[in-house]
């Protein structure tokens, strides 16, 4: 592979914008509230925060290290560092995870596109909570519409991925993500001014320790990995585009703070609405789509806000989906020597095919159940609760035990230029804490092992 042809991110802000673009997306605004709502609220949030700090940050940094040190896609990165080992399997698992995640991710992004359309035609105005609820159900049980939007979303993603690294990714995220943040804060203010907002807020922030079960912990682990885009090599791929002079640790820290803040702000907007309108936090995957339109239906200028919100949510979803598609495309190009355009088309067509299974999981395929889950939940759960934690565990083990302290120091200190006072803590976390915690939570949550 000709390294000179590989793109790099133009500036430090460029990397942060791109990695944050990958991390911040439907995971924060759609998935976090629904998973937190189904797993006890405050207790979930507390465990989530601990996991993000003690496991998420070290694993993210590990991915950056592997990516920047090798300048390769995940598969070749492991092959380069350990030519005779089998660590490249992490790269292969990552490709599988990318396919699965994209399949349901593009489905939810498709729902978002439908909601842009509904906002534009003024579809929420004056509707009651019951009607808004019904709107989602009748849309999602329709077989064709969700598929149509899902395919449109994948096409949008493909077009951007074809544009290449710098042009494709950096340009959009810089301006639009801050705008999304502003809209969410406006929604927060609206939600907090509801008369009984307190109930929603204490649901999210007041931990009820009796609600903590092995599955709640596993859900928090899965959500943390999903939201931070870690455990499958996305950030190895992005790390390979980071310049040698950039500071890996501070970039990771900034992304983690931003990602977590946005998830919490989304929760602050959603849970007061849940309680005010008599909905249930355990609504599941439709939670965001059944709650926020209630605010848009009532507020002055609601239509414009609704359009803006769903457009920006789509943009946030695209900056994440391009990072997922990039994992697959970079592998096809660099390993299978495909042309970028062919790789992109092939990946997009196969993902769209898998995506239709998810998009129709409450429509045409509503009778399909495996382990009591439809296609959508099956892909969502397999990726977040199995593939990502497993990948993260292996990545931590790789850097902690195989790559080792000296090389790790070289990479995170930019060959001695930066001070790394936290090196020992970092090594301790990735050698022992992260792998052990993931293994225990994993086995325990799947019921294979009891504390
Ligand atoms: N982190 C993204 C989100 O929160 C989803 C994602 C997961 C992207 C894994 C890349 C890899 O929306």
- The answer to whether residue 176 is domain-embedded is yes
Residue pointed to by tokens 């609704």: 306
Q: Which domain holds residue 137?
A: 3-445
> Could you tell me the distance, in angstroms and rounded to a whole number, from the CA of residue 23 to the centre of ligand 1?
5
CA nearest ligand 1 atom 2, residue:
23
Query: Directed axis angle between helix 88-120 and helix 74-81, to 10°?
Result: 160
- The answer to whether residue 244 is domain-embedded is yes
Check if 320 has its Cβ closer than 6 Å to any atom of ligand 1: yes
Beta bridge partners of 373: 370
> Could you tell me the distance, in angstroms and rounded to a whole number, from the CA of residue 4 to the centre of ligand 1?
28
- The answer to whether residue 362 is domain-embedded is yes
> Could you tell me the distance, in angstroms and rounded to a whole number, from the CA of residue 102 to the centre of ligand 1?
9
- The answer to whether residue 450 is domain-embedded is no
- The answer to whether residue 357 is domain-embedded is yes
pLDDT in tens, the chain (451 residues): 333 356 666 666 777 888 998 999 999 999 999 999 999 999 999 999 999 999 999 999 999 999 999 998 899 999 999 999 999 999 999 999 999 999 999 999 999 999 999 999 988 988 999 999 999 999 999 989 999 999 999 999 998 888 765 455 566 667 788 889 999 999 999 999 999 899 999 999 999 999 999 999 999 999 999 999 999 999 998 898 888 999 999 999 999 999 999 999 999 999 999 999 999 999 999 999 999 999 999 888 889 999 999 999 998 999 899 889 988 998 898 888 999 999 999 999 999 999 999 999 888 888 888 888 899 999 999 999 999 999 999 999 999 999 999 999 999 999 999 999 999 999 999 999 999 999 998 888 777 766 6
- The answer to whether residue 206 is domain-embedded is yes
Check if 97 has its Cβ closer than 6 Å to any atom of ligand 1: no
Q: Which residues of 368-386 are buried (b: 16+ CB within 10 A; e: fewer)?
A: eeeeeebbbbbbbbbbbbb
Entry pTM: 0.94
Neighbouring C-beta atoms of residue 225, cutoff 10 Å: 30
Give the CATH number for residue 114.
1.20.1740.10
Check if 157 has its Cβ closer than 6 Å to any atom of ligand 1: no
Question: The tokens of 400 are what?
Answer: 């902690």
CA nearest ligand 1 atom 6, residue:
229
Question: The tokens of 249 are what?
Answer: 């640790």
DSSP 116-145: HHHHHTTTTTT--HHHHHHHHHHHHTSSHH
Provide the domain count of the chain: 1
Cα–Cα distance for residue pair 35/28, rounded to 1 Å: 10
> Could you tell me the distance, in angstroms and rounded to a whole number, from the CA of residue 228 to the centre of ligand 1?
6
> Could you tell me the distance, in angstroms and rounded to a whole number, from the CA of residue 27 to the centre of ligand 1?
6
Length of the chain: 451
Check if 33 has its Cβ closer than 6 Å to any atom of ligand 1: no
Check if 22 has its Cβ closer than 6 Å to any atom of ligand 1: yes
Check if 360 has its Cβ closer than 6 Å to any atom of ligand 1: no
- Provide the terminal-to-terminal Cα distance of the chain, rounded to the nearest Å: 48
């Amino acid at each position: 592979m000709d390294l000179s042809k590989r793109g790099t991110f133009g500036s430090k802000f460029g990397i942060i914008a791109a990695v944050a673009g990958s991390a911040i997306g439907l995971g924060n605004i759609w998935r976090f509230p629904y998973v937190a709502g189904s797993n006890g609220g405050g207790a979930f949030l507390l465990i989530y925060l601990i996991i993000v700090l003690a496991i998420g940050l070290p694993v993210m940094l590990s991915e950056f290290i592997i990516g920047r040190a090798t300048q390769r896609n995940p598969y070749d990165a492991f092959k380069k560092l350990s030519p005779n080992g089998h660590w490249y399997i992490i790269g292969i698992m990552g490709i599988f995870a990318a396919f699965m995640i994209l399949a349901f991710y593009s489905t939810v992004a498709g729902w978002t596109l439908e909601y842009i359309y509904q906002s534009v035609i003024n579809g929420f105005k004056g509707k009651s909570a019951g009607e808004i609820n019904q709107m989602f159900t009748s849309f999602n049980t329709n077989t064709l519409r969700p598929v149509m939007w899902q395919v449109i979303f994948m096409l949008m993603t493909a077009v951007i991925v074809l544009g290449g690294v710098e042009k494709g990714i950096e340009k959009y995220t810089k301006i639009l993500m801050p705008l999304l943040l502003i809209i969410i804060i406006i929604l927060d203010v609206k939600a907090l001014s509801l008369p009984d907002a307190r109930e929603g807020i204490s649901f999210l922030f007041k931990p009820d320790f009796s609600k903590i079960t092995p599955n709640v912990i596993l859900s928090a682990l899965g959500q943390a990995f999903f939201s931070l885009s870690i455990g499958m090599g996305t950030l190895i791929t992005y790390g390979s585009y980071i310049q040698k002079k950039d500071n890996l640790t501070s970039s990771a820290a900034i992304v983690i703070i931003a990602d977590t803040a946005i998830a919490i702000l989304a929760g602050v907007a959603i849970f007061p609405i849940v309680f005010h309108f008599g909905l249930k936090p355990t609504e599941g995957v439709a939670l965001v789509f059944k709650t926020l339109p209630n605010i848009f239906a009532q507020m002055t200028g609601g239509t414009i806000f609704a359009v803006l919100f769903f457009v920006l949510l789509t943009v946030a979803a695209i900056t994440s989906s391009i990072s997922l598609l990039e994992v697959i495309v970079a592998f096809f190009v660099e390993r299978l020597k495909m042309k970028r355009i062919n790789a992109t088309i092939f990946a997009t067509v196969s993902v769209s095919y898998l995506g239709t299974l998810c998009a129709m999981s409450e429509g045409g395929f509503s009778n399909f159940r495996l382990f009591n889950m439809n296609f959508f939940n099956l892909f969502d759960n397999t990726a977040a609760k199995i593939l990502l934690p497993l990948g993260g565990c292996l990545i931590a083990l790789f850097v902690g035990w195989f790559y080792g302290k000296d090389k790790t120091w070289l990479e995170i200190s930019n060959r001695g230029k930066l001070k790394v006072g936290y090196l020992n803590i970092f090594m301790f976390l990735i050698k022992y804490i992260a792998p052990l915690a993931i293994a225990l939570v994993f086995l325990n949550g799947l019921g294979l092992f009891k504390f």
